[in-house]
Amino acid sequence: MPVKPSTPVEAAPPGESDPAWPDESAEAQFLAGARERGEAVSATPTPAAEPKAAETELACPMPELDDLVARLPPAVRETLDELFRARFVRVTRLPRKTLTAAKG
């Protein structure tokens, strides 16, 4: 089955910083084509459509980065550095919902 090239999206003029996005009809056409090819199509919710997750965790201060890095065994730190050139740069709190979603 030949694949039709999609309609090109016009580039933004040099003075504008936001790129031109396809309109809803172009999105609908793309999704219809994907369904015809047998691809699984699911609409992903936009961040504005998702309700904010209420954090039930205590708002305790975050530990210092150096304290957390010191908890790692030296062999683990060396392996991370060797394999990934990983550098610890900040401490952030992740929502509980993010961690439980990764398990399932």
Q: Which residues of 21-31 are buried (b: 16+ CB within 10 A; e: fewer)?
A: eeeeeeeeeee
CA 71 to chain centre: 28
| pLDDT, tens digit (0-9, with 9 covering 90-100), for 24-39 | 888 888 888 888 888 8
Q: For the segment 48-85, what is each residue's pLDDT rounded down to a tens digit?
A: 545 555 555 567 888 899 999 999 999 999 998 889 88
